[in-house]
A and B are shown apart, each in its own frame.
Chain A
Amino acid sequence: MQRQQEKPTEKPKKFRVFGPVATRFTSSDTGSWRLERPKVRFEDCIKCGTCAMFCPVNIIEILKDQKECVIIDFNYCKGCGICSNVCPKKCIDMVPERGHE
């Protein structure tokens, strides 16, 4: 999804079409739907990647060589909590959005 947004800016050319269509994905920023966000306790994380495997929007990346090893793209994370539920170490907490962290 991230790549889709970047791609059309390479060589933009306008042409007229008929019918419902969008090439700017302005409304796909599903991160704005979020009421809770996943917060990883990195010290407990075993970098197994289970959260990334189960993420329904595929926006979790595991960086095994870094301390902050779980990267979540919050532009698209809806805060569904699946990652938190499936984590074998229970080291992903769901914390309320909007300044309660």
Chain B
Amino acid sequence: MTYKMLDGNSAAVEAMKLAKVQVISAYPITPQSSISEKLSDLVESGELKAEYIRVESEHTALSVATTAQLTGARSATATASNGLALMHEILSMTSGNRVPIVMPVVNRGIAAPWTLWCEHGDSIAQRDTGWMQFYSQNVQEVLDLTLTTYKIAEHGDVLTPAMVCIDGFFLSHSLQKVKVPTQEEVDKFLGKYVLKNTYLDPSDPMFICNLTPPEDFTEMRYQQKVGMDNAIKVIEEVQKEFLSKFGRKLHIIEGYKTDDADVVLLAMGSMTGTAKYVVNKMRSQGKKVGIAKLTVFRPFPFEHIKNLLGDKKVIGVFDRSAGLGGQGGPVWSEVSVALKEFDIDIRSYIGGLGGRDVPADTIEKIFDELLSIQNREKDTHTQWIDLKKNAMEIREVIKHV
């Protein structure tokens, strides 16, 4: 183990290098670009023995990675935002054909309005494509989650691809001191990629993704559902093994000072780090608040959420995506259903969109609102928590007519 100063993208690359990916096809897109660039540097210098295939789009990038993996090579790609949207069709191809690719997704809002900056709207929009989704809190988690995710995705009971979600810029471009395991340690943990399912081999041909009639389609989908269901147990096992081998604890959902908390805020991604700081600050003022950090969004860990939050009275759920047309944010919807058997007041918060920072102040404001709801001083809450007051009037154009 060595310490390195890495940003989130470099940590993802470090993990892919340690997993010894053999085929890479990535198309650069801000803020993912440095992943593509660093991987190509590694291939050029010979540090990583892999085939780097240049492609003309994200659609092709994932097509190449998926089919390459079917020949028995651990394959890599990465994307963000509109690139992920362009991959949409192939995402379902990868998961439906049970190809366990691990893909870093550097979260960035989807245009329009054009943005380069962080929100979870891009990956949340792909939640039903049959991919697992892991959200990272910090750069160390980017590395650790990526490494463990290979083992989880490739497990014979799972065989489901996975996205490791990295908050654009907040994580992808911020340097942190990261513990990097040695190649031997990772080799022992991960091992070589072994094909456990269908394969592409000219000497023993099979036709993968043939037309599936109504007689079989439901069963194919059900097999995917079972893979997702199995994943929860496998994630627990792999995270346990990771803890014993590398000494760092990963979670499906982490309760930070939730045991005796009056109110809890559930959130994902880098803002949970800030939220932990706010929890400590407010606890020192005697306010009993806690944060639930959701790492695994797909498969949705409803049992874990019930166990962690079932006894609470007031919960806030912070969505870093707008969930347009929904009653609340997408994570809020799922949490509400998971906790439907309990009498809990669950409030939806939406914020941090298109790169808007989620500072301690915003989180403190949420906790204060939740506390006053819990004390029955207040009943309403501010769903769009960081919205400007003049939201409907912030643009003017000069008309020349």
Q: Quick check: is B182 within 8 A (CB to CB) of the other chain? A: no
Residue of B97, B203, B205, B227 touching A20 (CB-CB under 8 A): B97
**Given A7-B205, A22-B207, A23-B207: A17 touches B197 (CB 8 Å cut-off):** yes
Q: Is the CB of A22 within 8 A of B210?
A: yes
Q: Quick check: is A4 within 8 A (CB to CB) of the other chain? A: yes
Q: Is the CB of A21 within 8 A of B206?
A: yes
Q: Is the CB of A8 within 8 A of B210?
A: no
**Chain B residues touching A, range:** 20 to 34
Q: Quick check: is B223 within 8 A (CB to CB) of the other chain? A: yes
Which residue on A lies nearest to B227, using beta carbons?
A: A18
Residues of A within 8 A of B396 (CB): none
Nearest-CB distance from B209 to chain A (Å)? 5
Q: Is the CB of B210 within 8 A of A21?
A: yes
Q: Is the CB of B223 within 8 A of A18?
A: yes
**Majority secondary structure, B binding face:** loop
Residues of B within 8 A of A4 (CB): 205
Residues of B within 8 A of A22 (CB): 206-207, 210
Residues of B within 8 A of A21 (CB): 198, 206-210
Residues of A within 8 A of B203 (CB): 7
Which of chain A's residues 4-53 have a Cβ closer than 8 Å to chain B?
4, 7-8, 17-23, 25
Which residue on B lies nearest to A20, using beta carbons?
A: B212
**Chain A residues touching B, range:** 10 to 19
Residues of B within 8 A of A19 (CB): 96-98, 197-198, 208-209, 220, 223
Q: How far is the CA of A20 from the CA of B207 in the complex (A)?
A: 8
Q: Quick check: is B204 within 8 A (CB to CB) of the other chain? A: yes
Residues of B within 8 A of A20 (CB): 96-97, 208-210, 212, 216, 220
Q: How far is the CA of A19 from the CA of B225 in the complex (A)?
A: 12
Which residue on A lies nearest to B97, using beta carbons?
A: A19
Q: Is the CB of B207 within 8 A of A25?
A: yes
Which of chain B's residues 204-257 have a Cβ closer than 8 Å to chain A?
204-210, 212, 216, 220, 223-224, 227
Interface string of A56-87 (1 = CB under 8 A from B): 00000000000000000000000000000000
Q: How far is the CA of A21 from the CA of B216 in the complex (A)?
A: 11
Q: Which of B209, B210, B216, B227 neighbours the largest number of chain A CB atoms within 10 Å of its CB?
A: B210
Q: Quick check: is B50 within 8 A (CB to CB) of the other chain? A: no
Could you list which residues of chain A lie within 8 angstroms of chain B, going by C-beta atoms? Answer: 4, 7-8, 17-23, 25
Please name the 9 residue pairs, one residue from A and one from B, whose CB atoms are nearest each other, closest first: A19-B98, A22-B207, A22-B210, A23-B206, A20-B212, A18-B98, A18-B223, A21-B198, A4-B205
Given pairs A18-B159, A19-B197, 9 additional interface contacts (CB within 8 A): A8-B204, A18-B198, A19-B96, A19-B97, A19-B98, A19-B209, A21-B207, A22-B210, A23-B205
Chosen A-B contacts, 29 in total, with CB atoms closer than 8 Å, are A4-B205, A7-B203, A8-B205, A17-B197, A17-B198, A18-B197, A18-B223, A18-B224, A19-B96, A19-B97, A19-B98, A19-B197, A19-B208, A19-B220, A19-B223, A20-B97, A20-B208, A20-B209, A20-B212, A20-B216, A20-B220, A21-B198, A21-B209, A21-B210, A22-B206, A22-B207, A22-B210, A23-B206, A23-B207
